[in-house]
Amino acid sequence: MPPLPWQTTQITPALQNWFAEYPVGGIILFADNVQSIQQVQALTADMQAASYHHLFIATDEEGGRVSRVGRLFADGDFPILPAYEIGRTGDPEMAYMTGRILGERLLSLGINMNFAPVADVWTNPANTVIGNRSFGNDPKLVGIMVDAAVRGLNSSGVLSTIKHFPGHGDTYEDSHYLLAFYNHDRQRFDQIEAPPFIRGIEAGTHGVMMGHIATPQLQNATAPLYWMEPWLESGTLPATFSDFWVQDVLRGEMGFDGLIITDALEMRALSDNFTPGQIALGVFMAGADILLMPTNVTATFDALIEAYHDGVFTEERLHESLRRIFWARQELGDL
């Protein structure tokens, strides 16, 4: 799921050729792709027409400071507040209605997947990358609000995605620029970070987004690729590459069988430390279904195709992700 080229607001012949060469499963839109309601509607319709199969068209529309299309709509009688302000009201109905209204707006534009709500618990006041994007610092309250927001989004017909697993709210680092670290043990995770994700899964979220977060005190992953070994040994393997977090905890203990989506693979937490091919294969081997914003689409495709032909992963592993993708498309009523 790559982004469009910078400031692309309409389909061009070059973009049509790109879709033909790289049959991507989705596109993420940003504010630079957005000019007006009619323009976005035309863009999304034309992308669907140009694609070999029905696309997931996604964006980050959380409300508050992370808003890609919000400026196109007047709030009217229902203001769209930052998540933290919603949390302060203690009113899950506000979280539900915010999710529903955001979803209805996105669907009217032809956007069918939202990377929201944020399920991180904001326990580190120095953490600005999450900050007021979180519903608060109390895991019980955050869980209640995440549950309501997921149900609201789902009721609109848009696919919901909770983020950033296993939890970005207590880190000091911003994974856009640095590998982030979660420096706590399992007891802390179970008590603080896990509950909102569990509530979101129980509410029916379609996706969980993995954060580029190292967990030195929680290192039970394996290293199916040789270059992972020093990262495991030093406690710096990102959760995005960790079968412990993806398979053992998220799939196994939490019972999540929906879409696992990476955070943007171009973020410097990964791109400063790994090649595009390593990133692509690392996250896929860990269990990701959707690879968001690879630094190099060609290198990503080539790495996965080569690994498949070399027997690094099986056709069954590929089918596991395809089944989840087809399920999500059925949820949208597209199959």
Question: What is the count of structural domains for the chain?
Answer: 1
User: Whole-angstrom Cα distance, residue 301 to residue 143?
Assistant: 37
pLDDT of residue 19 exceeding 50, the answer is yes
Is 2 part of a structural domain of the chain?
Answer: no
pLDDT of residue 334 exceeding 80, the answer is no
pLDDT band at 18 (very low <50, low <70, confident <90, very high): confident
pLDDT band at 52 (very low <50, low <70, confident <90, very high): confident
190-242 confidence digits (pLDDT tens)? 999 999 999 999 999 999 999 999 999 998 899 999 999 999 999 999 999 99
Single out the catalytic residue among 60, 120, 147, 263. 263
User: Whole-angstrom Cα distance, residue 56 to residue 175?
Assistant: 24
Spatial CB neighbours of 264, under 8 Å, sequence gap ≥ 6: 292, 293
Mean pLDDT to the nearest integer, 165-175: 96
Active site residue 263: yes
Is 7 part of a structural domain of the chain?
Answer: no
244-292 confidence digits (pLDDT tens)? 999 999 999 999 999 999 999 999 999 999 999 999 999 999 999 999 9
CATH code, domain with 131:
3.20.20.300
DSSP 244: I
Asked if residue 212 lies in contact with residue 174, where contact means CB atoms within 8 angstroms, the answer is no
Is 36 part of a structural domain of the chain?
Answer: yes
So what's the pLDDT on residue 76?
73
Active site residue 176: yes
- Through-space distance between the first and last CA atoms of the chain, rounded to whole angstroms: 20
So what's the pLDDT on residue 324?
97
pLDDT of residue 144 exceeding 80, the answer is yes
Question: Which residues span the domain enclosing 125?
Answer: 13-331
Is 97 part of a structural domain of the chain?
Answer: yes
Number of Cβ within 10 Å of residue 304's Cβ equals: 18
pLDDT of residue 335 exceeding 50, the answer is no
Is 6 part of a structural domain of the chain?
Answer: no
Please name the residue that has the structure tokens 């529903």. Answer: 100
Single out the catalytic residue among 176, 190, 243, 248. 176
> Considering the chain, what is the average pLDDT of its residues?
95
Q: Output the DSSP codes for 31-89.
A: GGG-S-HHHHHHHHHHHHHHSSSPPEEEE-EEETTEESSGGGS--TTS----HHHHHHH
Asked if residue 190 lies in contact with residue 211, where contact means CB atoms within 8 angstroms, the answer is no
Is 298 part of a structural domain of the chain?
Answer: yes
Q: Which helix (H) or strand (E) holds 283?
A: helix 276-286
